[in-house]
Amino acid sequence: MQKILKEYPSLILNAFKRFPVASAFAIVTSFALIFSLDFINGKNPWLQFWFMVYPVVAMFISLTTSLIQEYKKNNSDKPQRITGIAWLVISVALLPIISIFASDGFAHGKSFIASALALYITAFMGPFVIPFFKQKNDNAFWIFLHKNMVALCTAVVVTIFLTIAIEILIVFFVMLLGINTYDLNVYAFIFCIATVLPILYFTNIPTIDECIEKTPLESEFATSKFRFLFTPIFTLSILLFYIYIVKFIVQWELPHGMISYLVSVSMFFMIATITEMYPAHLKTTATIEKKLLKIFPIFCIPLVVLMSISILRRISDYGISENRIYVIVLNIYFYIVIAILLIDKIKCKSRYLACILGIGFLILTIGPLSASNITYHVWSNGIKTAIEKEGFSNLPLSKEETKIFLTALQKKDDHKSALTLSRISFFEQYSTKNLGKFFFTDDVLDFDKIRDEAKGKVRPKSPTTLHSVNIYGHVDDIFEIPKNTSKVIPLNMHFDKDDFKVQNDSLFFQVKVKRLDKTFQFAEPITDNPTSFSTNGAILIIKQFFLLVRDTNGEISSDFTLKGFLFME
């Protein structure tokens, strides 16, 4: 470790020389993430999405371009300019595409995350696939993958220790100054993850030449792990699945959704094992490992079929959803994986597996075939069909028609009607614009109230807010000290309900100074903008102030928190 730490300065300098553009984007990524989280933060989701995606993907595109140039002995900056400009244009063009095919609520939250992950994963696979695209086998890919895993693991370990050290230093430093540490801690964490980790990873990335020149060699450690650890675990899991299949056939009990996750874990475990044991395929002699690696994909076929049956059952019970579309595509991908692994004529299996995975991810998250867009159209058609079955033809429904329709669905009390109601509730919560295509939405519809009315229930009245004042950081850190002040005490108090009261629009409370055995009584009118409270012998300057008084069916509930400075004469 000491040797590694001594070598890192020169390695980092070499990484900047070898991958200058990618290293620059690693630095830009930190600033972009901080800007998107701190300054945009939901104000403009599309701009925030772009700042979080563009520099990260640009970094991996530049890395891939540099590796190819290094292999071809091309020192021109033209390829970097071409790929950089191309990605800039594509990234800007993606925003309206996502906006068009992701409607309202479907465009936010999970869909944004899915689109970002798809772009991240596809870009990350670039350096592992594109430089070896013309190779006739997976030899160079396997060596490059192994050396990169070592480089990545080393970078992660060093980054973890460095992050912990920096965070501790920040905590001790700010304790001396007495300032807020939260923002500094977050900024340091983002910088370590988004900038330090990639640059440390760049320091140990092998060249394409040294990977092409070598032949994968099977290590005794990997062979023993495969024979005595992976094989028994995988065989046992396959056996358990087969027992479940027998139970399913005998009892005719359709599999539930958990099967899909278990099969997915088993499949990825199988893919990782076959990739790790790739050198065993190259042996000319027949070995146990070589035979097992050919048999494992065949054994997985019933598992993938079981996963398909499980998905069909979930769709039959609960209909289409965004998550189920992801699982459907993953299930199809597993069939393709098994086919590629079993076809001996396909020598570069990694190329096809990676390309299909990346393309599938992008199609599934961006554009007209995205999971969110498909889900939106399926749900919309389902709601429209339910409306037509109730005899309504003109859309959107009026306010009275909306109530009649929702009440009719509630009274049916069947699975399909409940499913339609849940989708309407989703639209109400996340996509009111699309809800307006079907229902009257000038007022906020209270579907829970309509359901309760259909069942003859009486709902309690919503709480009435009598007083609400919430001020954060109202006073600057620098302010005038009142005259005749002899002592200052910082306050950070949460008052119990017996320690204060609100009467006739005035707030009454007391502050006890235990060390001095003094109690100060305050009585002030409640305003929207209180800056200070005064009483005999003291002035209270407010920094943070929160007061909430509510009436719930005749019962008064209140909450009062105060932070500031008490200046005593």
In three-state secondary structure terms, 252 is coil
- Listed by start position, the domains of the chain span 2-212, 220-347, 390-454, 464-568
Bond from prior residue into 131 cis (ω within 30 degrees of 0) = no
d(CA 161, CA 167): 10
Q: Are 522 and 510 in contact (CB under 8 A)?
A: yes
Cα–chain center distance at 500: 43
pLDDT of residue 106: 44
d(CA 249, CA 246): 5
Pairing of strands 532-535, 518-525: unpaired
Pick from 254, 263, 257, 261: which is nearest to 321 by CA?
257
Q: Are 382 and 417 in contact (CB under 8 A)?
A: no
d(CA 222, CA 219): 5
Sign of CA dihedral 11, 14, 19, 22: positive
| DSSP, res 205 | P
Pick from 341, 264, 274, 270: which is nearest to 304 by CA?
264
Enter the tokens of residue 454: 């259909």
Radius of gyration of the chain (CA): 32
d(CA 271, CA 265): 10
In three-state secondary structure terms, 496 is coil
Enter the tokens of residue 323: 């998550």
d(CA 430, CA 236): 44
d(CA 559, CA 505): 15
State the virtual CA torsion across 371, 351, 270, 115 in degrees, nearest 10: -20
pLDDT of residue 529: 63
Bond from prior residue into 396 cis (ω within 30 degrees of 0) = yes
Pairing of strands 532-535, 538-552: antiparallel
With 0-12 CB in 10 A as exposed, 13-18 as middle and 19+ as buried, what is 343? exposed
Compute CA distances 448 → 72, 412, 456, 459, whole Å: 66, 16, 12, 9
Q: Is 505 left (phi over 0), alpha (psi -120 to 50) or beta?
A: left
Residue type, 312: L
d(CA 422, CA 312): 20
Torsion angles phi and psi, residue 295, rounded to 5: -80, -35
pLDDT in tens for each of the 569 residues of the chain? 555 556 777 878 888 999 999 999 999 999 999 988 877 766 677 788 889 999 999 999 999 999 999 888 888 889 999 999 999 999 998 888 777 665 544 445 577 788 888 999 999 999 999 998 888 888 899 999 989 999 999 999 999 999 999 988 888 887 777 666 667 888 899 999 999 999 999 998 999 988 887 888 777 777 777 777 788 888 888 888 888 888 777 776 666 667 888 889 889 989 988 888 888 878 777 778 788 888 889 999 999 998 998 898 888 888 888 889 999 999 999 999 999 999 988 888 888 999 999 999 899 888 788 888 888 888 888 888 888 888 888 888 887 888 888 888 877 877 788 888 888 877 777 766 677 788 776 554 555 565 555 555 545 554 444 455 555 444 445 566 777 777 888 888 777 767 777 776 777 788 887 777 788 888 777 765 667 788 888 888 877 777 777 665 555 566 777 788 888 87
With 0-12 CB in 10 A as exposed, 13-18 as middle and 19+ as buried, what is 311? buried
Give the DSSP H/E element, type plus range, for residue 519. strand 518-525
Enter the tokens of residue 266: 């088993």
Give the DSSP H/E element, type plus range, for residue 432. helix 432-435
pLDDT of residue 182: 65
pLDDT of residue 465: 47
Pick from 549, 530, 523: which is nearest to 467 by CA?
549
d(CA 129, CA 277): 19
Q: Are 128 and 145 in contact (CB under 8 A)?
A: yes
